[in-house]
């Protein structure tokens, strides 16, 4: 009898062990709501080559979902003039890495899908309110509308007209949702160089009200929802690559006068030391990686003593590097190429305030918080090492960011997907397999049109009109116009 009791207890133990595996959390319907990050945007564009390597799609693959529908956009060769949003890539000119247009967006490949897409991430700068309130997209009205019309398809006459991103996501009855929103509520201040509450920075109360409204709609499905904090946008390569000093174009090192680097000149007066602009950029000022050098090539921001146009204290602001500005109450908003220290503080404070609300609102058994801000901060400080290779956030050469200096690269998205999956598994007890990051590291993700000459033409953003269009690798290099400072330094 004692032996039988032991055997029965042992059998029960086996059943219990087996039942724990059978009761492990699994997910069969996965959707994503958000901006360009869940969309897989890279190098200024969204194309199928990027979309099938996005963090969102990698998670769908790991879940074993075979019918994960994305608004796939074809990639086509750059035309003259460009007819779609241009894709930037790293190209080599005179043995130096530069940025050029290597392809452009084409047509949507599955525009007639009879149901909403599973990946509802879209570009165009959507803010938090747009995921809840944008129920009618009007192509041609704005860049936001152009992208939303392709992804949400909520144009007049469409069966999706009158529905928002969160409503379309909920209609698919998901059991796992990425709620990856809020980045553009802060990023606009960085990309325009204008940090103004209510203009380029969303007020905290306004953000939280729409955040909770969208979250409630998604929670009504009973799904597990992954929420995201917002990374510090002032630390992306778009603004952290170049110093605030005049650089020698030949060596890319600071020009020294009396052994000291020479600051660039900006359009802000800085009393008492410089009561009339142009004035030397103060310590802590960040400059736009792509736009600022193009102005410097024209002598703008370069002191006249070094062959530039700017004379300190002259009052001629047209010769100084511009800070962004906004004329109340309705604009215009004039983009700049500088982030002064006070603007950095305003953006960082708002990031912390919004993240505090996201963390406070991401409670409950159905919500998994992914602290993207912490992950980005750790990566910024330590890099990411795989197979003996350390990847960093350095522009073009670090490996983690794409050619626009703002969005992750293929490898960066794979790392994000891996961290999201680990967080879901830890929080829910699921056993979602992790993606193969080494595959992303070792698989080239280059344009099939890289050998074609890239040409200027239609551009989606104001700064693109200033972009030095580099020829592709196999084309004859086209020398850029030398600036006055270049001629002066090379004597």
Is residue 273 included in any domain, yes or no?
no
One-character DSSP codes across 414-468: HHHHHHHHHHHHHHH---PPPP-HHHHHHS----TTTTSPP-----SSGGGGG--
Mind listing the pLDDT tens digit for each residue in 177-225? 999 999 999 999 998 899 999 999 999 999 999 999 999 999 999 999 9
Overall average pLDDT of the 81-100 stretch:
75
The gap from C-alpha 367 to its chain's centroid, in whole angstroms, comes to 24
Q: Is residue 274 part of a domain?
A: no
DSSP for 320-344, written as a single string: SBPBPEE-TTT--EE--SEE-HHHH
Q: What is the CATH number of the domain that holds 144?
A: 3.40.50.1110
Over residues 213-268, the pLDDT tens digits come to: 999 999 999 999 999 999 999 999 989 988 999 998 878 789 999 999 999 999 99
For residue 244, being part of any structural domain is answered with no
Paired tokens of 479: 């020398």
Q: pLDDT band for position 395 (50/70/90)?
A: confident
Q: Which domain holds residue 155?
A: 27-237+340-466
Q: Is residue 308 part of a domain?
A: no
Q: Give a yes or no: residue 80 inside a domain.
A: yes
pLDDT at 82: 80
Token couple for 21: 């595996």
The owner of tokens 């990946």 is 119
The continuous run of DSSP H or E covering 209 comes out as helix 204-219
348 found inside a domain: yes
pLDDT beyond 90 at 431: yes
Number of domain units in the chain:
1
pLDDT at position 20 over 80: no
Q: Which residue has the higher pLDDT, 71 or 488?
A: 71
- The answer to whether residue 423 is domain-embedded is yes
Does 317 score more than 90 pLDDT?
Answer: yes
pLDDT greater than 50 at residue 13: no
Residues 6+ apart with CB under 8 A from 364: none
Q: Convert the pLDDT of each residue in 349-377 to its tens digit.
A: 999 999 999 999 999 889 999 999 999 99
What confidence category does residue 5 fall into, taking pLDDT thresholds of 50, 70 and 90? low
Residue with tokens 């020398």: 479
295 inside domain: no
Of the candidate ranges 24-28, 405-409, 479-483, the one whose mean pLDDT is the lowest: 479-483
């Amino acid at each position: 009898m004692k032996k039988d009791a032991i055997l029965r207890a042992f059998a029960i133990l086996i059943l219990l062990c087996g039942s724990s595996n059978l009761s492990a959390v699994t997910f069969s319907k996965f959707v994503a709501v958000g901006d360009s990050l869940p969309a897989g945007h890279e190098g200024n564009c969204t194309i199928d080559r990027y979309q099938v390597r996005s963090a969102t799609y990698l998670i769908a693959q790991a879940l074993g979902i075979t019918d994960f529908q994305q608004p796939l956009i074809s990639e086509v060769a750059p035309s003259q003039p460009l007819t779609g949003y241009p894709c930037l890539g790293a190209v080599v000119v005179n043995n130096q890495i530069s940025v050029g247009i290597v392809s452009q967006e084409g047509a949507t490949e599955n525009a007639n899908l009879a149901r909403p897409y599973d990946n509802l991430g879209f570009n165009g700068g959507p803010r938090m309110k747009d995921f809840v309130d944008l129920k009618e997209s009007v192509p041609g009205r704005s860049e936001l509308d152009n992208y939303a019309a392709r992804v949400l398809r909520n144009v007049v006459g469409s069966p999706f007209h009158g529905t928002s991103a969160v409503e379309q996501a909920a209609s698919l009855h998901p059991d796992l949702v990425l709620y990856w929103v809020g980045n553009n509520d802060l990023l606009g201040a960085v990309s325009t160089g204008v940090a103004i509450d209510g203009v380029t920075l969303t007020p905290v109360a306004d953000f939280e009200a729409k955040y909770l409204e969208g979250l409630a709609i998604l929670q009504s499905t009973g799904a597990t929802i992954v929420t995201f904090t917002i990374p510090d946008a002032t630390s992306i390569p778009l603004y952290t690559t170049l110093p605030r000093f005049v650089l020698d174009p030949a060596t890319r090192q600071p020009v020294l006068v009396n052994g000291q680097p020479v600051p660039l000149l900006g359009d802000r007066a800085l009393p008492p030391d410089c009561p009339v602009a142009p004035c030397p950029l103060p310590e802590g000022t960040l400059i736009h990686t792509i736009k600022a050098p193009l102005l410097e090539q024209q002598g703008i921001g370069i002191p006249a003593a070094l062959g530039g146009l700017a004379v300190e204290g002259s009052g001629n602001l047209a010769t100084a590097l511009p800070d962004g500005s906004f004329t109340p109450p309705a604009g215009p908003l004039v983009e700049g190429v500088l982030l002064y220290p006070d603007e950095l503080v305003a953006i960082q404070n708002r990031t912390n305030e919004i993240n505090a609300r996201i963390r406070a609102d991401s409670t409950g058994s159905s919500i998994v918080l992914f602290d993207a801000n912490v992950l980005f901060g750790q990566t910024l400080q330590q890099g990411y090492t795989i197979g003996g290779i350390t990847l960093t956030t350095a522009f073009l050469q670090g490996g983690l960011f794409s050619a626009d200096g703002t969005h992750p690269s293929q490898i960066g998205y794979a790392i994000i997907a891996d961290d999201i999956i680990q967080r879901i598994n830890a929080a829910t007890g699921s056993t979602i397999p992790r993606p193969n990051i080494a595959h992303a590291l070792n698989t080239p993700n280059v344009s099939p049109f890289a050998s074609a000459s890239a040409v200027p033409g239609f551009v989606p953003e104001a700064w693109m009109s200033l972009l030095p269009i580099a020829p592709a690798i196999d084309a004859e290099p086209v020398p850029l116009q030398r600036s006055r400072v270049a001629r002066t330094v090379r004597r």
